[in-house]
Amino acid sequence: MAKKRITRRQFVAGAMASTAVLGMPYVSSAQSAGKLSVGLWDHWVPGANDASKKVIDAWAAKNKVEVTVDYIPSQGNKNLLTIAAEAQAKAGHDIMAMPTWWPHAQSDLLEPVNDIMAEMIKKLGNVNGTSEYLGKLGDKWLAVPATIGSQLKGPCSRIDLMKQHAGIDIQALYPAGAPPKADSWNFDTFLKAAEACHKGGKPFGIGLGETSDSVDTAGAFMQSFGAALVDAKGNVTVKSDAVRQWLEYSVKLAKFFPADAPAWDDASNNKWLVAGNGALIMNPPSAWAVAKRDAPQIAEQCWTHGFPAGAKGRFAPFLPYFWSIWSFGKNKSAAKQLLVALSEPDAIASFVAASGGYDIPNFDKMTTLPTWANEGPPKGTLYHYPNPHNHQQLSITAAPAPPKIAQQIYVQATPTKMITRHLQGEPMEKTLAWAESEVEGFLR
Amino acid sequence: MADATATVVTPAKRAKPAPRSRLRKFFEKKSTIAFFMALPLILLIFTLVIYPAFYAIYLTTLNKRMTATAWMKNCTYLPDWICTNIPFGNLQFLLTRETFWMVFWQSCLFAISAVIFKALIGFVVSHFVHNVPTKGQRKWRGMLLVPWVIPAAMSTLAWQWLFDPSYSAFNWILAQFDVERVSWTGVAHWARFSVILVNVWIGAPFFMIMYLAALKSVPDQLYEAAEIDGANWWQRIWYVTLPMMRNIIAITALFSTIVTFANFDIVRILTAGGPLDKTHLFATWSFRLGIEGGDIPLGATVSLFMVPILAVAAAFILRDVTRRGNEA
Amino acid sequence: MTSVTVDKAGPTRARPKYGSMKRDRAWALRWSYFFLAIFAFFFLIPPIYMFITSLKTSAEISAAKNPWWVFNPTLSNYVELLTSPAYIGFFKNSAIVSVSVVIITMLIAIPAAFALSRMRFWGSATLATGVFLTYLIPETLLFLPLFKMFAVFHEYTGIQLLNRWWVLLVVYPTLTVPFCTWIMIGYFASIPKELDEAAIIDGASWLQTLTRVFVPVALPGIIAATIFAFTVSWAQFLYPIAFTTSIDQLVLPVGIITTLIKGDVFNWGQIMTGALLGAAPPLIIYAFLMDYYIAGLTAGATKG
């Protein structure tokens, strides 16, 4: 994962290929259409960065722009640190990849991208609701929903263990290449399955920690109960019946989680699956991919599928990334062109392929690419991962609260903390009172 | 330490009887030369510590979106016209938060217990090392210093791996003896224990080496005299060793208290503050609020809150040190 | 000053006339070895476990068999890291940064410590104490203002500091200089004044006195400070993670944590290998210079 800087030599090579500049030596940047520096998310899949590099190189050569690409990892929230620092300094990259809440958090400093978004929507289909909620402020598109890094955290089950302990044939509910027949896959079934697998010594590997995997799962359950801590208008709705029902159910369910679930981070569920400790985890297919490398016999038994349905619908946690342009960027028009190039159907398909199906495009027409149907073993394990049949609603925890408040709820992991508190014996009303005071703090 | 000069002045003056220009004289004055020698240090501190610290104070007075000042409001014991003109709204807000007081308490618990254990282990181990014949000391010192030498971020990763919920190597050993597995980072008290343990592990060798240096500087004659006077082992430590080591104990403790209190990487990597914020320290909580939560002024306020607390600790310890210094 | 480097009589060289005392000391020695072994064991568990893990393949790590044993030892983690240009780059950056920071620290701290321990000027006493107080201001408070300062600096001078490894040369000294200055003030104070007084009388300037006469004598103290500065700058975490982003600008701890951990996928074998290799340079330095370190601290620390 070396830094991808287009050196002069590479640039000349690229320029040679495009006949326009053939034979013209690249002397200095004065002759080029300027410089552009891009901060992209550092993909964990080996080689996935090369796919974006390739698209950018081709674009750079064609437009004679000198592009510097930095791949910034989300590990240790390095990317958030960089975003915060660049926003403070009003200097840094031109294009910056931002996860989930950050376009809203930095909305004052982002260049609107309505013009290119209109084009993209025309070409690629509508943007899913969650990406719109996170990427749009009023009528203003703050950033372009990015394919790279956007992920869905539905369940990944062990086919064998689910059959053995819970009597559920997950492949029958979610057959490869066909619409799901999962009406029976609801919260009751899920709770019973969790209990059965817990008894069988293979508990569901769902965390109650403060990182996104845990929070996302808790939030999707919450939405399926129609519950929210803060409503779209910004009113605190902690002490509502829906929240109570959600909390009651979650605690029942959490009794069947591993004992140290409150300490889990985003890597814990992966290890849980790969170690063969449990029958189900909530994660994008990175865990399965690691299993494929380190424990192939476990990977062969993995099946990625949809979320169980609750009273108010079927919600699955979606974690989108965005490509945004800093308003203090030096080369905004070039930045927009590059974002268009990164959102061409071919480019998107290449990112999905390079990531082994991990990345999910945020546009409707792009969720049925061949990569997901073909990945395996077992073949078709990722078929239902990108939600090809609109079987579930994509959601993010703390929506529909105004994003700046929702961000606090998400980052402070209020939902999982509520579950943990109640689980550890705190009375429900006390937990709700605590959550209310927390949320009131976020409103300031 | 700065009292070394008085005697030197006379010969220096005698050496240049001829009258010189005032400017030249100014530059040849010893205090001027000394000032210029210390100037890089002064500049470094002012430009890279003091100035940004004041800028950070300014940051703490802004509102969340950093567009206006966060004035205080609704003070109970101040008239409104004063209250609404004090720009510490963030601090006022923080002081009403339950979590803030929890973090405050945890930081103190963490720093105090970690420093005490580091000091104790350092003290004990340095004595053992000191007891060993000189030629054998090297390898012991080398082995015992390893934790201090490995970059903390990396050794914390190793600890994280030792504590891992699925793969804990400690739990594997416990399982061999049919002891129930421990949720090292999952339950509040164990998580606090783990964080303090890692900090003690990393910091104790530094105490060990500082104390060892101090032990070596205690003149042998003092012990011999004490021994002849019939002092037992305990009395020798109490009346000879401890007084001789007092300065170094104080300074090492101070340095360690500051670094421990403001610790970021160990907690950040090991528990990230969880479970239920029960291991957050000021620095990690400030990161959570400021960087992850997007409220930079609030995060900066949390960080800033460390300064007065540490200043009080430093005042106590340093007062002691200078007093000892003057007696000596 | 020589007295500090000479080791005290070891317990085995105890005077024979106290027979019981000799026996006591022999026992004390045995107990010392016993407890030292226990402490060394406690101190060495994590590095040993790192070493064990570094010899494993990721498949073996995932298999969750006896974690304290290597069933199929492999050097592939070492080979992979040592042939990875990115890792070599981290190593190189760390080495350049740490060595340069040590030099910068010494250039600032030695004259300052000399001035503060030997000469007097307005505010010098305050400075000598106050220099330590810079540690009171935490890094978490400073990094955002510093980031902004460097951005403004770039605007005015065109010199880019952000996302360049040399920015660390600017910020690390704030962490190393105060402690080093303090150690050396103490050490310098333990050197007899007659030494530099004689040099001054002989007509040497202050600067000559410092470089020709003083520094050679004060070497143990300076080496102790050097080692401290090196360890601190080698291990820094928050500043480099805040100020550097591009892979080719990262130093070792940040590089390992941000590139060997990918999202939620930890590559434990390589992480442990990287950490062990990363700990090697300071370990080697300590192994060779430990005696100076102790000697330097011995005088410096107690006279503080």
Q: Residue B31: which domain range? A: 1-60
Q: Write out pLDDT tens, residues B225-237.
A: 877 887 777 777 7
Residues forming CATH 3.40.190.10 domain(s) in chain A: 4-147+321-362, 152-318+375-443
* C22 or B290: which leads in pLDDT: B290
- The reported pLDDT for the residue numbered C103 is 93
Cα of C142 to nearest chain B Cα, Å: 6
Q: Write out pLDDT tens, residues A47-102.
A: 788 888 888 999 888 888 888 888 888 877 788 888 888 888 788 889 999 988 88
Q: Which residues of A touch B167 (CB under 8 A)?
A: 271, 275
Element (H, E) at A5: strand A4-5
> Does the pLDDT of residue B297 top 70, yes or no?
yes
Same domain, B107 and B213: yes
- The reported pLDDT for the residue numbered B322 is 55
Q: What percent of chain B has pLDDT over 70?
A: 90
Q: Write out pLDDT tens, residues C183-194.
A: 788 788 777 888
Instruction: Find, among A72, A68, A59, A66, the residue nearest to A32 by Cα.
Output: A66
Q: Are A277 and A354 in contact (CB under 8 A)?
A: no
Confidence of residue B27 (pLDDT cuts 50, 70, 90): low
Q: What is the C-alpha end-to-end distance of chain B, expressed in Å?
A: 11
- Distance between CA C251 and CA A408 in Å, rounded? 32
Residue B255, helix vs strand vs coil: helix
Q: What backbone phi and psi angles, to 5 degrees, belong to C67?
A: -70, -15
Q: Write out pLDDT tens, residues B116-169.
A: 999 989 888 888 888 777 777 778 888 888 888 888 888 888 898 888 877 778
Same domain, B27 and B129: no
Same domain, B199 and B211: yes
CATH of the domain at B202: 1.10.3720.10
Domain count, chain B: 3
CATH topology of domain A4-147+321-362: D-Maltodextrin-Binding Protein; domain 2 (3.40.190)
Same domain, B140 and B246: yes
* ipTM of this complex prediction, to 2 decimal places: 0.79
Last residue of a domain, one of B42, B70, B96: B96
Q: Determine, for residues B165 and A80 on separate chains, whether the beta-carbon distance falls below 8 Å.
A: no
Q: Write out pLDDT tens, residues B257-275.
A: 888 888 888 888 888 877 8
Same domain, B80 and B191: no
Those of residues 15-44 in A touching chain C at CB distance below 8 A are 39, 42-44
The partner residue sitting opposite B186, judged by closest CB among A210, A263, A277, is A263
Question: Chain B interface, mutation test: which of A260, A268, A409, most B Cβ atoms within 10 Å?
Answer: A260
Instruction: Locate the chain A residue with the closest alpha carbon to B161.
Output: A268
Same domain, B70 and B120: no
Size of interface B-C (CB pairs under 8 A): 349
Same domain, B52 and B178: no
Last residue of a domain, one of B60, B84, B110: B60
B195-202: average pLDDT:
92
In this structure, how many other beta carbons lie within 10 angstroms of the beta carbon of residue C187? Answer: 31
Instruction: Find, among C249, C225, C251, C248, the residue nearest to C238 by Cα.
Output: C251
Q: Whose structure tokens read 């508990």?
A: A203
- Domains identified in chain C and CATH numbers: 2-7+76-302 (1.10.3720.10)
> Does the pLDDT of residue B9 top 60, yes or no?
no
Q: Determine, for residues C144 and A88 on separate chains, whether the beta-carbon distance falls below 8 Å.
A: yes
Last residue of a domain, one of B9, B37, B60: B60
Instruction: Produce one character per residue of A376-399: b if its CB has 16 or more CB atoms within 10 Å, e if not.
Output: eeeebbbbbbbbbeebbbbbbbbb
B297-314: average pLDDT:
86
Low-confidence ranges of chain C (pLDDT < 70): 1-22, 64, 262-266, 297-304
Q: Which residues of A touch C162 (CB under 8 A)?
A: 85, 89, 91-92
CATH code of the domain occupying A152-318+375-443: 3.40.190.10
Same domain, B214 and B290: yes
- The CA angle C155-A89-A343, to the nearest 5 degrees, is 105
Taking the CA atoms of chain C, what radius of gyration do you get in angstroms? 24
Same domain, B42 and B73: no
- Distance between CA C169 and CA B94 in Å, rounded? 35
Same domain, B182 and B147: yes
- The reported pLDDT for the residue numbered A4 is 47
Q: Are C299 and C1 in contact (CB under 8 A)?
A: yes
Residue A310, helix vs strand vs coil: strand
Confidence of residue B19 (pLDDT cuts 50, 70, 90): low
| Helix-helix angle C252-259:C268-302, to 10 degrees | 160
Element (H, E) at B326: helix B296-327
Subunits next to A (3 or more Cβ pairs <8 Å) are B, C
Burial of B309 (0-12, 13-18, 19+ CB in 10 A): middle
Cα of A82 to nearest chain C Cα, Å: 7
- The reported pLDDT for the residue numbered A322 is 92
Q: What backbone phi and psi angles, to 5 degrees, belong to B204?
A: -60, -40
- Distance between CA A122 and CA A120 in Å, rounded? 5
Q: Determine, for residues C141 and B167 on separate chains, whether the beta-carbon distance falls below 8 Å.
A: no
The set of residues, in sequence order, having a beta carbon less than 8 Å from that of A206 and lying 6+ positions away, is A214, A217, A253, A254, A257, A261, A269, A280, A281, A282
Q: What percent of chain A has pLDDT over 70?
A: 93
Low-confidence ranges of chain A (pLDDT < 50): 1-31
Q: Determine, for residues A88 and B296 on separate chains, whether the beta-carbon distance falls below 8 Å.
A: yes
Instruction: Produce one character per residue of C145-170: b if its CB has 16 or more CB atoms within 10 Å, e if not.
Output: bbbbbbbeeeeeeeeebbbbbebbbb
Instruction: Find, among A223, A249, A219, the residue nearest to A409 by Cα.
Output: A219
Instruction: Find, among C194, C177, C55, the residue nearest to C116 by Cα.
Output: C177
Same domain, B276 and B148: yes
Q: Determine, for residues A411 and B288 on separate chains, whether the beta-carbon distance falls below 8 Å.
A: yes
DSSP strand pairing (A35-41 vs A95-99): parallel
Same domain, B305 and B163: yes
Q: Whose structure tokens read 């990363």?
A: C278
Q: What are the strands, taking DSSP E only, across chain C?
A: 261-262, 265-266
Instruction: Find, among B274, B293, C263, B289, the residue nearest to A210 by Cα.
Output: B274
